[in-house]
Structure formats: structure tokens, C-alpha cells
Amino acid sequence: MSDARRQRIEELFDQALAAAPEARAALLADRCGDDDALRREVESLVASAPPASGVFRATVAQAAVALAGDLPGARVGTRVGPYRLIEVIGEGGMGTVYLAERADDAFHKRVAVKILRWGLASPEATARFRDERQILASLEHPAIVRLLDGGTTEGGLPYLVMELVEGTPLTAHARDLPIRARVELVVAIAAAIQHAHQQLVVHRDIKPGNILIDAAGQPKLLDFGIAKLIDAGTAPAREARTLTGMALLTVEYASPEQARGDAVSVATDVYALGAVLYELLVGHPPQRLGADLLATLRTICEVEPPRPSA
């Protein structure tokens, strides 16, 4: 069979598969004309081809079921290890956090369980999630949420079990406090960050949303999902980015090196904590996210924010 003949058969085969089943006979009669051998060859290929639409529908249905299972409330009532998930209490960039309780009757305890979202279960995201688990395991400070347990779900997703912090977000708690009390909260948070730095951990996402104040007035630093271990033995490297090219940061509290995509250091967390203090004193962060993201990142690098006294 010549190359031209083979190419012609392939073209007609693709056209026949793309057409509705009831329209294929007329299409092939028109395209093949008097070449009965050509028509029979294409018809034979079409008859032996798998039902593409059925395969497609099955694939879409399978993905839909998986995604539905990844919706925030879909896991409520199920078990993860010895814990039963009760309700969703938070959502982050990579995972969903659930209120959970011990369900094996060994003892009674309520905890927070964070599970990597199925739709983000890439090798990179899974590795980052496990890094968070290991980082939390290395930190022991009263102002840092404690890791209690961890593992992998039956579906292969990593999870971590943390102490349950029932508290108020930092900005809401500090709204009616005098200035001295607000600064004292920041001092307590600074002690937690210093502890992390002593363990060679940079949080990289310090912001009011990651700080809760418990019933005793104690701040708790949460969400080490994009934290990074400092390796003094390696050369500075560009920071990790998402598949869309966006750096891993919260713009309003991002340091200039984060805005540039450069390597971070302990100074990155110091800058972010300063931005949190600025917001507690003034009522808004030093930089505000504008419609033009690139312009906002450029402003972080080049423009000094107004002094709080202004």
C-alpha cells in the first residue's frame, strides 16, 4: 500500500469517527465515490475501533466522581486512620482541614486533620505536604500548632493530624485591644518564629490568617504548607512556583525577595511579621493587592510603604 493511500485511509477514518454514527455511511459514500475497496477498508477500521464516545464518557464520569469526592464536604463522616471527620473548618492552597475525633474508642480527643486535595496530588505537591508534616514534627513551641500524628489515606493522599486550635483570627482578636497589647501579641509570635528559625525553618507565609488566638490569649502560628528548610550547604536558588508560574506567596505580606522570586531567608519572615504589625497598627497591610499583579510586585520591591505614623 502506497503512503498516499494509507494517508487517505487515515484521513477518512478520522472523519468517520468524528461524524455521528447515522451519518457515516453517507459521508463515506460521498468521500470514497466509486472506490469500493477504500470504503470497505475504512468501514472495517471504524467497526473495529473502540467506542470513543463511551470511553470518553467513562473517563469524564470517573474524573467527576473523583473530583466530587475531593469537594470540601465530601469526606465528612468518613474515617482517616483512627479519626472520624466531623466538619470542614478550613481550606488552604493544598489541603482541606477537618474537625475530627478519635473513633477507635482508645480514648476521646478532638483534633484537626489536614488532607491533601485529590486534584493537587502531583508528586511536587505531595512532597511539599510531607515536608510540612516533617517540619511540624521538628517544632515544639507553645505558639506553634503541634503535630500529633500523620499517615496516608486509603486513596493514597497524605494527611497530618494537629492539635485543635479553637480561637479567633489575629486581626479580629486585636481589633479592640490597645496598641501595647497588639504589640505584645506580635512579640509572642516573634518568639515562635525565632524558634522555627533556630530549627532552620522559614515559614514563608506569615499573615494574620495563619495566626489564631486561643481562649487563653495565646497566639498559635499555623499552616507550614509552603515552609522551607534552610540548607546552609547549598547555593541560593530561585524559589518554587506553581504550574501557572505564580510564586508561592501571599502578595500583601510578601517580602521583596519573594516578589522577585529570589531565595528566601529568615529575613523573609521578619519582613512578613513587620507587615502583620503594620496592619495591626494601621488597619491594613503595607501593600495592597491591585488589579495589576506585576505592578504590585514591582511596588513591593521599589516603593517604601507610608509610615504608620502618617
What are the counts of helices (DSSP H) followed by strands (DSSP E) for the chain?
Answer: 10, 11
Which of 70, 205, 223, 269 does the annotation list as catalytic?
205
Cα 164 versus chain centre, distance: 21
DSSP assignment string, 73-128: TTTTT-EETTEEEEEEEEE-SSEEEEEEEE-SSS---EEEEEEE-GGG--HHHHHH
Give me the phi and psi of 69, to 5 degrees please: -70, -20
Looking at residue 86, the DSSP 8-state letter turns out to be E
Catalytic-residue membership of 70: no
Residue 9, C-alpha cell as written in the block: 485511509
* Nearest CA among 23, 22, 28 for reference residue 40: 28
Q: Are 45 and 14 in contact (CB under 8 A)?
A: no
Q: Are 16 and 49 in contact (CB under 8 A)?
A: no
User: Cβ neighbours of residue 91 under 8 Å, at least 6 residues apart?
Assistant: 72, 97
Catalytic residue positions, numbered: 205
